[in-house]
Every structure is written in C-alpha cells, then in structure tokens.
Amino acid sequence: MKQIVPLHINGDIHEVAIEPGATLLRVLREHLGLIGTKRGCDSGGCGCCTVHLDGKAVYSCMTFALQVAGRKITTIEGLSPDGRLNRLQDAFVEAGAVQCGYCTCGMIMAAQQLLDVTQTPTEEEIRRAIAGNLCRCTGYHKIVAAIKLASAP
Amino acid sequence: MALPKLREFITPADAQGVLNALRNYQDRALIVAGGTFLHGLESRGLLTHVEALIDIQRLGLDYLESGKDGLKLGATALFADLETMPEIRNDPWLGAIKDALVFPPVQVKNAATIGGSVAASCPFFDVPISFMCLDGVVKCRGSSGMRDIPMQEFFTGLFANAMENGEFMVELAIPRPRTRSASAFMKVETNANDLAILNAAVRIDVDESGTCSDARVIAGGGVGETPIRLSDAEQVLVRQRLTPEICARAGLSAKGSVNPISDHRASAAYRSEMTRVMVNRALRQALDRLRQ
Ligand SMILES: Cc1cc2nc3c(=O)[nH]c(=O)nc-3n(C[C@H](O)[C@H](O)[C@H](O)COP(=O)(O)OP(=O)(O)OC[C@H]3O[C@@H](n4cnc5c(N)ncnc54)[C@H](O)[C@@H]3O)c2cc1C
Ligand code: FES
Ligand code: FES
C-alpha cells in the first residue's frame, strides 16, 4: 500500500506516493530525478549514496523513505542551489580529487558534515570522516588534500 | 532491498501502537529502528516472510540518561548521540563503549540505534559486547508489561534472542559500579565497513586495597553463534592484584576457552590466537585506565 508523504528536500517540499519498502535512495533517483546521489552497492558498503538527514550524513540506501517524512534532507544538489559550486566542491576540482567521479558526491556529503562541525580538522579526523566511503580510483590522497584545502583558513 | 511480501509500513505514535501491530502481524512483522542491518538480514534470506515494517522512531525512546544507579539508554538513541555523552567520553568504567564506538562509519553512527545493535543479535557486532561487559540489562515491553533480560542471557543463537514474539526492546540499563572500575574494547577487522574478525570487551573492578573484586571477559566476532562470556579468564583475574603478567595469563585462558569458526575473513586458528591477544590488550588498556 503506497502512502503519500511530504519529503523536505533541499528546501523544497515534495508530496510523493511511496511504496512501503522504498529506500530514500530509490525515491530520490527514480521519483524525483535527483540523480546526483549515486547507487553503488545498495547495501551500506560504499558510501556513494550519502545524503544529510537533519544535517547528519547517512546512507540513503539504508534509509526507508517513509521513515524520513517531514525531516530535513539535503542531497548533493542542495550544496549548490544557485548552480555555483560550494567551497568544498571547488576544492575537489582544484585538488584533482575526481577521477571516474562515481564516489565523489558521497565523499563530498560525508566531508561536508565534518566541515559543518569541525572548522580545521586534522588529517586523522578527515580520514575517519570518509572511512564509510570507498573510492576505487584516487587512492584517497587527493580527496584528503581537497578536504584540507576546503578547510584551510 | 527485496521484501517480496511487504504490504505495510506502520509508524505508531506510542508503544501500544507497536504492540497492536506486533499482535496483528505476529512473526510477519519486523521492527525497524535505524534500518542499518536490514540489508544484512535480507541478504541472508531472513526477511522473505515480512509483511509489515514497524517504525519505532516516533515513540520518544531516543533519550540518554545518567543517574546515581547508572545509565538509562533509550532503544532508539543513536550511536552518534551516545558517543557525545560526557561520561562515555571521560569515565574509565565506560571505556569499552567509547572504544567500540570508534569503529562504525559516520553514516552508520548517525542512523544505528542502541536497541537495533542489541536486538539484531549478530555475533560480529562490537557495540553490544561493550554493553555486555558492563552487565547491561535489556528492558523489553510486551502485552503483559515490562520485562528485564540481562545481556548475558539475551543472545540465544545466530540472530536469535530471548525476547518473545510480541515483545520489543525499549531501553538498555547499565548499572553504575560500586567500586573503582574500568573497561575496554578491542577489535581485529579488515576495513571500516566490514564485520569483526574478532573482538573482546573486558571490565575490571578493584577494591580499596587494589585487589580485583570482579571481572568480565567477553569475546565475539566469530568465536561462536553468540558473543561468549569467558568465566575461566575472569577467574584468573579475581582476587589478584592486577599486573601485566596476570593480564597475559587471562588472555591465554581465554584462548583455551573458545572454539571459533573458520570463514572467508579468518581461520579458526587465527581467531583463537587473536582472542588471546585482544583479551590481553583490552585488559592492559583497562588497567591503564584504572591508574589514570
Ligand atoms: C557499513 C556498516 C558498518 C558497520 N560497522 C559496525 C562496527 O564497526 N561496529 C558495530 O558494532 N556495528 C557495526 N555495524 C552494525 C550496526 O551497528 C548495526 O547495523 C546497527 O547497530 C543496527 O541498529 P539499527 O538501529 O540500524 O537496527 P535495524 O537495522 O533497524 O534493526 C536491526 C534488527 O533489530 C531489530 N530491532 C531493532 N530495534 C529493535 C527494538 N527496539 N526491539 C526489538 N527489535 C528491534 C530489527 O527488527 C532487526 O531485526 C555496521 C553496519 C553497517 C551497515
Ligand atoms: S549505495 Fe549506499 S552505501 Fe553503497
Ligand atoms: S573517483 Fe572513481 S571511485 Fe572515486
């Protein structure tokens, strides 16, 4: 039985008819066309589906859409509402932290939460913050460099 | 996630609503808290019968309280919130919880709940054995009222526990120790998103003369279908003045009491040896905390 619920995403409210078992990831990509959030493992192992729920990074593939009705959801699209990249996104470009790009949106969402609470994180804190995100291309060095760049005073 | 028989997602506003839904659907209902282990259950083919998901996150069970008797941790309180409790960060007796919370990735800490970690009854999890070494008590609610289940009696098999059909967990209580006490947790893992190869949680209590008055040694992560309390290792510690040599002897005893599994993560022999190493190191860590 589908339920129609309001989802608060990137400042907009979407009324969506949702099947009981649908994950937030599926609703974002298939119902709302917000395909910046990527589907990798679909089972909590890779991090590329990371979004913010009330400002905290979560795996959208492990979140039931019906559980988050009414709560504040931010996706990668929400970091650049006027079409201009934010500081962290710019730093990823500048540091060359993107190769195939599949992990990038999730990495940025995980790193953004860190920067939201810690202005100048240590390398250890950066590596912990992205420990739930896999990258198969970069070897992580440039990703860590990008996050440092974005947090430099 | 494939839940082929799923018909309904229920979001009760109170505990009675949960009990009603559990009664209506019997064993065809599944409680959802953080939802982070549902893939784990589904991929093992354990959710094919589920017709209703019951979300318990709107019952107000996300409290974390500390009083003179100990901690009262609501079943839907998040790992991320538990981690920021000042007592968890600073107090030696709660060191095992602090240690265990280092491991899950941020995205899991922001969703996983205390109740879900315990109720999942997965022998490879870390956080539950840190509760177990502190003599945590599961408070569950059913149609005939509340019931207490000590954590050391809670796990009855792989993904199985002592809660009855129709009951659900509402709180974990952790008693405050009466004497000086410290605890610690250690783990061997492959990477941040994998389950433990082996883990150990220990607690030591000492009296005024510095003699060990009580101890807990728990091992998990492939030592069996449930985490195991290693009483023989505990007996090596009790009534002794704790030294690194005694810790090493307890580690050796722990190794002798487990009969681990072999799987794609590690062989039984490696797990046995790691039981010795991790119990010894966790005891040394707890001992250091006691001296702080
Ligand atoms: C990528 C990843 C990494 C992880 N790393 C670690 C780690 O390093 N250390 C560690 O300890 N754990 C780790 N975990 C496991 C994690 O701790 C558990 O998945 C989590 O604690 C489960 O809690 P939840 O609230 O998400 O439960 P859910 O997934 O919602 O539920 C799990 C089970 O418990 C039942 N349940 C939940 N709450 C209740 C209740 N109140 N009463 C009765 N039944 C209930 C559900 O019906 C279900 O069977 C990891 C998980 C993932 C996905
Ligand atoms: S798609 Fe969600 S963690 Fe991989
Ligand atoms: S850039 Fe390809 S996976 Fe990270």
Contact present, A59 and B107 (Cβ < 8 Å): yes
Per-residue pLDDT band at B2 (split at 50, 70, 90): confident
- The first and second tokens of residue B112, run together, are 């996983």
The CATH number corresponding to A87-151 among 1.20.140.10, 3.20.20.300, 3.40.50.10490, 1.10.150.120 equals 1.10.150.120
Mutation target vs A (from B5, B107, B125, B190; most A CBs, 10 A cutoff): B107
What are B115-169's pLDDT values in tens digits?
999 999 999 999 999 999 999 999 999 999 999 999 999 999 999 999 999 999 9
Contact present, B104 and B112 (Cβ < 8 Å): yes
Q: How far is CA B206 from the centre of its chain?
A: 24
Residue A126: predicted pLDDT: 97
- The first and second tokens of residue A24, run together, are 């937030």
What spacing in Å lies between the alpha carbon of A142 and ligand 3's midpoint?
Answer: 11
What are B221-258's pLDDT values in tens digits?
989 999 999 999 999 999 999 999 999 999 999 999 99
CATH code of the domain in which B19 resides: 3.30.43
Q: Can you count the helices (H) and strands (E) in chain B? A: 12, 14
Per-residue pLDDT band at B284 (split at 50, 70, 90): very high
pTM score: 0.97
Averaged pLDDT, B191-208:
90
**Architecture category of domain A3-79 in CATH:** Roll (3.10)
Residue B186 and residue B263 in one domain: yes
pLDDT beyond 80 at B193: no
Mutation target vs A (from B106, B109, B187; most A CBs, 10 A cutoff): B106
Mean residue pLDDT across chain A: 96
Averaged pLDDT, B17-34:
97
Cβ-nearest to B80 among A20, A56, A133:
A56
Averaged pLDDT, A103-115:
98
Per-residue pLDDT band at A124 (split at 50, 70, 90): very high
CATH code of the domain in which B209 resides: 3.30.390.50
Q: Is B105 in contact with A64 (Cβ distance < 8 A)? A: no
pLDDT beyond 90 at A1: no
pLDDT beyond 80 at B192: no
Averaged pLDDT, A70-76:
97
Residue B3 lies in a domain: no
Number of domains chain B is built from: 3
Averaged pLDDT, B183-189:
95
